[in-house]
Amino acid sequence: QTSLALALLNGAGVKQDFAEARHWCESAAKRNSDVGFYCVGMIHQRGLGVPPDSHEAAKWYRSAAELDNFTAMELLGQMYASGDGMKTDRAKAYVWFIRAALKSDKAGFDDAVKLRPLLNKKELESSNKQLRELRIDPAKLDAFVQKFSAEKSAPKAKSDN
């Protein structure tokens, strides 16, 4: 179902049909498919056959993220960071970026590294509390993120080649 839905959204091998794609995405979501939830979120965020609605998209992305869809986690982080469809919350954005990164999402990790130095004390305390609730050790994670951030910003040695 989700493969057909994505083909219909992109017009890949079939005629592009947003309404039919939405039907198949929602059908997959009803069966608790992370890709189905993500797909419906994307339809709402991009306004594919429906008026664009970031708030509605975030609801669908959250359902996908709770089923370990790291792309939805990354998008939720971006939405919280920018205030797109919700109140800006950098602590929540950081947590979603970390959750995506822990699922091997490079973009989530890169965004966590960029956002970490911008967090104030209250935001850092809030994100640490949320991470502990998820059974993620914020101290170990924070040390790793800070180390990576320092390595990324350090000047690179020139090669002899």
Higher pLDDT, 12 or 68: 68
pTM given for the model? 0.83
Higher pLDDT, 147 or 7: 7
Range scoring the smallest mean pLDDT among 17-26, 91-100, 103-112 = 103-112
Quick one: pLDDT band at residue 66, thresholds 50, 70, 90?
very high
Is the pLDDT at 144 greater than 50, yes or no? yes
Higher pLDDT, 147 or 153: 147
Instruction: Give the per-residue pLDDT at 156.
Output: 52
Instruction: Give the per-residue pLDDT at 94.
Output: 95
DSSP codes joined into one string, the chain: -HHHHHHHHHTSSS---HHHHHHHHHHHHHTT-HHHHHHHHHHHHHTSSS---HHHHHHHHHHHHHTT-HHHHHHHHHHHHHTSSS---HHHHHHHHHHHHTTT-HHHHHHHHHHGGG--HHHHHHHHHHHHHTT--HHHHHHHHHHHHHHHHSPPPPP--
Is the pLDDT at 160 greater than 50, yes or no? no
Instruction: Give the per-residue pLDDT at 136.
Output: 85
Is the pLDDT at 155 greater than 90, yes or no? no
Higher pLDDT, 105 or 113: 113
Is the pLDDT at 159 greater than 70, yes or no? no
| Mean per-residue pLDDT of the chain | 88
